[in-house]
Amino acid sequence: MSEKEMPLWEHLEELRRRIIISIVYVIVFTGVVYPFTPRILLFLKEQVGKLYFFSPQEALFVRVKLSLMLGILVSLPFIMHQVWLFVVPALTDEERKYSRAFLVSGFFLFFAGVYTGYSIFLPFIVKTLLSFGGSILVPVIGVSNYLSFLIWIVAGMGLSFLLPLGTFLLARIGIIKPVTFLKQWRFGIVGILLFSAIIT
């Protein structure tokens, strides 16, 4: 029996195996990153100065959360590889070629968005928001809130960088006609900018 004719239970078993492998990658990289979280926090707080925690367990939870987020980020190429291994048996040769290019492009676009979000958008947004305090209000920024804020910024920018790729995929499968997109490209750019602003 070919891989394309596998019964449902074998597909589910293969899916379970790929998910378990992906989880193992996340756990391993999370454990590797955890000892370095103090240095990482020192680096991340440069935009706001001092960070505070307001309960005895918060510092520990923040370190665990940070290491988990970075563990997932570092694991993404390996998780994408597991996704590829799961779907590739059902693809034709032409579909394999396009899907491989799609995954590689998505990987680089997402990390380009993450880098842009952290190096460009985060400093600008933090500076703008803190300026509303003027000389009257003094910011006391909790480390948990700041970490959540930072994750939203970088993850949102990473996802927004994937929108052109998603548009190409929709055009490829016929949901969006390329001619229509070329005529309405200005609205498409505005939509991408609005999505980026909302999600961040």
Q: How much of the chain, in percent, has pLDDT values that exceed 90?
A: 30
Question: Tokens representing 105?
Answer: 């492009």
DSSP state of 52: B
Residue 159 in this model has a pLDDT that exceeds 90: no
The per-residue pLDDT for range 89-114, each reduced to its tens digit, is 777 777 777 777 888 888 898 899 99
More confident residue, 102 or 69: 69
Tell me the C-alpha to C-alpha distance, in Å, between residue 193 and each of 28, 153, 166: 36, 14, 15
The per-residue pLDDT for range 23-38, each reduced to its tens digit, is 999 999 999 999 999 9
| Alpha carbon 40 to its chain's center | 18
**80: buried, middle or exposed (CB in 10 Å: 19+, 13-18, 0-12)?**
middle
158: closest CA among 118, 110, 192, 196? Answer: 110
Determine the Cα–Cα distance for residues 100 and 171; give it in Å rounded to an integer.
17
Question: Tokens representing 184?
Answer: 């309405």
Beta bridge partners of 142: 52
Determine the Cα–Cα distance for residues 57 and 48; give it in Å rounded to an integer.
22
End-to-end CA gap in the chain: 48
The per-residue pLDDT for range 171-196, each reduced to its tens digit, is 666 666 655 555 555 555 556 556 55
Determine the Cα–Cα distance for residues 154 and 74; give it in Å rounded to an integer.
14
pLDDT for residue 179 = 59
Placement of tokens 């929709």 in the chain: 170
Question: Tokens representing 133?
Answer: 């305090």
More confident residue, 158 or 88: 158
Residue 2 in this model has a pLDDT that exceeds 50: no
Q: What mean pLDDT is predicted for residues 117-135?
A: 88
Q: What Rg do the C-alpha atoms of the chain give, in angstroms?
A: 21
| Alpha carbon 196 to its chain's center | 13
Determine the Cα–Cα distance for residues 53 and 60; give it in Å rounded to an integer.
10
